[in-house]
């Protein structure tokens, strides 16, 4: 980017102008470049790629700890596989990119560029799974998927190419599979809430919003942009739909041949990064949790008239050499003014800035400024190791508390349509009594959407909520409480 842009202070009101703030930040913080000459395809620059890799590692570690094995399946899926599961093909085929030629030769069978991998993986699962001894079978792949989105694309939120991890598990019994769905939600909580500080709720989706081919879907909804929902990882109970159509069967302990039960789970890394940026960021730019920050620490020398520049630089250099063994750290040696350096690194969300000036030099001290609080303190140089060991947790605790507080302030309840209309534009979730999340409830959901712009996100997972009153639209006895929200 031209220097005059790169060096301009970033200051956009995130609350008031979220879309501008978000797009400008992806660009100015050198996270994403949207200028690639195919619509909906992004270039992920190092700041995004490093954070994404670290988020992927968190998921892979957690999945492996829970018994999943990594695998790699082809990115192309022949049409014949793709068409086996009727609901699945209906759901995905409008969005499939098709490969039709190799060189100048027309291919015998056209190939789908995978929009999701069920139909690539299960054709192999059918060959591997023979006996109850092969179960449970838990595998995942870290990969890209491609979807020919017809809706307006938004960087990291809705792209035509995105990066995710997809786990596909197979079980002897329905019960085990249903337990896996809960485990997937625990993984989401463990990483997205506990390690990245992003609050969300898990909803059982209405039937018209479940994954194509699944029996039911739980989707995690976070809130960004003053209370619009962003969907984070979904987990799907596939029942025996795919095992029947793909011919996956096993001989059980009693010698009977049976179809197993399946689940799948797909954290999309770019969306998670977008949530981190959108939830924790402020008017000055990104605020990264320490663990996934592309750059964790920046060292800035402070020169005033008459100081010993060489001595300060040497101290910075030594610090840099020492810290880079353990951290992702930069030493800003550029000839910019300290103030310009500060906002440059603040924009990029670097959690810790270390300043070294004359006072620090002579007193063996360091000035440390935290990005998340802006708090500045001077510590003894020999305390630095200990300080850095703990600061990641403290930053995360602070970011999580702030995000939780904001999130919790956005949970509303409406008993009547009038109350609903008053709350509709506040941002956040509105809990209402509702008739049904099966297809017979769809007309009521359509009315809500049309009159308020709110969508039925589903029934809250984990906390039993007795239905009270009548459906807010049709007046039938409410079977459940659903959460409504506007999506970003």
Residues 6+ positions from 302 with CB-CB distance below 8 Å: 312, 338, 355, 356, 357, 358, 360
- Do 136 and 67 meet the contact criterion of CB atoms below 8 Å apart? yes
Residue 423 lies near a second copy (rule: CB under 8 A): no
Residues facing 164 on adjacent strands: 143, 268
Q: Minimum distance from CB of 76 to a second copy (Å)?
A: 6
Minimum CB distance to a second copy smaller for 21 or for 146: 146
Minimum CB distance to a second copy smaller for 146 or for 200: 146
Question: Beta 455-460 vs 480-485: how paired, if at all?
Answer: antiparallel
CA 75 – CA 114 distance, rounded (Å): 5
User: Could you say which residues in the range 116-135 bind a second copy, by CB under 8 A?
Assistant: 120, 123-124, 127, 130
Residue 251 lies near a second copy (rule: CB under 8 A): no
Q: Minimum distance from CB of 51 to a second copy (Å)?
A: 11
Residue 317 lies near a second copy (rule: CB under 8 A): no
Using CB under 8 A, pick the residue from 99, 309, 311, 318 that binds a second copy: 99
Residue 69 lies near a second copy (rule: CB under 8 A): yes
CA 288 – CA 391 distance, rounded (Å): 13
User: Could you say which residues in the range 196-215 bind a second copy, by CB under 8 A?
Assistant: none
CA 418 – CA 432 distance, rounded (Å): 12
- Do 424 and 430 meet the contact criterion of CB atoms below 8 Å apart? yes
Using CB under 8 A, pick the residue from 27, 132, 148, 303 that binds a second copy: 148
**Burial profile 95-131: b = 16 or more Cβ within 10 angstroms, e = fewer:** bbeeeeeeeeeeeeeebbbbbbbbbbbbbebbeebee
Q: Binding residues for a second copy, how many (CB under 8 A)? A: 55
Q: Minimum distance from CB of 283 to a second copy (Å)?
A: 27
CA 346 – CA 363 distance, rounded (Å): 27
Minimum CB distance to a second copy smaller for 69 or for 386: 69
CA 362 – CA 486 distance, rounded (Å): 56
The piece of 20-28, 71-79, 454-462, 468-476 that touches a second copy (CB under 8 A) is: 71-79
Minimum CB distance to a second copy smaller for 277 or for 368: 277
Minimum CB distance to a second copy smaller for 74 or for 374: 74
Question: Beta 261-265 vs 352-356: how paired, if at all?
Answer: unpaired
CA 327, distance to chain mean position in Å, is 24
Minimum CB distance to a second copy smaller for 46 or for 443: 46
Residue 161 lies near a second copy (rule: CB under 8 A): yes
Q: Tokens 């008993």 appear where?
A: 415
CA 367 – CA 264 distance, rounded (Å): 48
The piece of 75-83, 166-174, 279-287, 400-408 that touches a second copy (CB under 8 A) is: 75-83
Minimum CB distance to a second copy smaller for 81 or for 180: 81
Residues 6+ positions from 291 with CB-CB distance below 8 Å: 54, 195, 392, 396
**Burial profile 134-146: b = 16 or more Cβ within 10 angstroms, e = fewer:** ebbbbbbbbbebb
Using CB under 8 A, pick the residue from 113, 379, 384, 474 that binds a second copy: 113
Using CB under 8 A, pick the residue from 101, 253, 304, 463 that binds a second copy: 101
Minimum CB distance to a second copy smaller for 150 or for 256: 150
User: Could you say which residues in the range 2-61 bind a second copy, by CB under 8 A?
Assistant: 2, 33, 35-38, 41-46, 48-50, 52-53
Minimum CB distance to a second copy smaller for 42 or for 181: 42
Residue 326 lies near a second copy (rule: CB under 8 A): no
Residue 97 lies near a second copy (rule: CB under 8 A): yes
Chain contacts with a second copy (rule: CB under 8 A): 2, 33, 35-38, 41-46, 48-50, 52-53, 69-76, 78, 80-81, 93-105, 111, 113, 120, 123-124, 127, 130, 139, 144, 146, 148, 150, 161, 163
């Amino acid at each position: 980017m031209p220097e005059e842009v790169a060096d301009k202070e970033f200051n956009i009101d995130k609350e008031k102008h979220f879309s501008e703030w978000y797009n400008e930040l992806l660009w100015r913080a050198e996270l994403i470049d949207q200028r690639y000459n195919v619509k909906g395809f992004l270039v992920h620059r190092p700041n995004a790629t490093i954070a994404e890799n670290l988020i992927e590692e968190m998921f892979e570690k957690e999945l492996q700890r829970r018994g999943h094995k990594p695998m790699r399946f082809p990115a192309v899926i022949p049409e014949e596989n793709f068409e086996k599961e009727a609901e699945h093909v209906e759901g995905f085929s409008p969005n499939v990119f098709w490969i039709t030629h190799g060189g100048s030769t027309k291919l015998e069978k056209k190939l789908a560029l995978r929009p999701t991998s069920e139909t690539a993986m299960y054709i192999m699962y059918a060959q591997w799974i023979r006996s109850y001894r092969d179960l449970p079978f838990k595998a995942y792949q870290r990969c890209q998927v491609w979807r020919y989105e017809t809706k307006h694309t938004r960087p990291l939120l809705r792209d035509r190419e995105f990066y995710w991890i997809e786990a596909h598990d197979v079980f002897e019994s329905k019960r085990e599979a249903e337990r896996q769905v809960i485990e997937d939600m625990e993984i989401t909580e463990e990483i997205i809430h506990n390690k990245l500080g992003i609050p969300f709720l898990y909803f059982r989706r209405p039937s018209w919003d479940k994954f194509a081919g699944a029996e039911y879907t739980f989707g995690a909804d976070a809130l960004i942009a003053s209370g619009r929902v962003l969907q984070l990882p979904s987990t799907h109970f596939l029942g025996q739909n795919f095992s029947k159509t793909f011919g996956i069967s096993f001989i059980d302990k009693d010698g009977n041949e049976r179809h197993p039960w399946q689940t799948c789970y797909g954290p999309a890394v770019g969306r998670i990064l977008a949530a981190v940026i959108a939830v924790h960021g402020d008017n000055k730019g990104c605020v990264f949790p320490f663990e996934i920050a592309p750059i964790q620490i920046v060292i800035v020398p402070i020169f005033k008239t008459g100081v010993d520049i060489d001595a300060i630089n040497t101290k910075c250099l030594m610090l840099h050499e020492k810290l880079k063994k353990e951290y992702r750290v930069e030493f800003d040696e550029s000839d910019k003014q300290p103030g310009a350096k500060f906002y440059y690194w603040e924009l990029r969300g670097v959690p810790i800035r270390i300043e070294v000036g004359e006072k620090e030099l002579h007193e063996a001290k360091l000035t440390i400024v935290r990005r998340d609080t802006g708090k500045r303190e001077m510590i003894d140089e020999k305390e630095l190791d200990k300080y850095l060991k703990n600061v990641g947790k403290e930053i995360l605790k602070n970011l999580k508390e702030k995000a939780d507080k904001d999130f919790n302030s956005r949970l509303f309840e409406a008993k009547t349509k009038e109350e609903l209309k008053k709350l509709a534009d506040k941002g956040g979730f509105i809990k209402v009594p509702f008739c049904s999340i099966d297809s017979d409830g769809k007309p009521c959901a359509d009315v809500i959407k049309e009159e308020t712009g709110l969508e039925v996100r589903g029934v809250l997972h984990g906390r039993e909520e007795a239905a009270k009153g009548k459906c807010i639209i049709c007046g039938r006895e409410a079977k459940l409480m659903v959460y409504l929200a506007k999506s970003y």
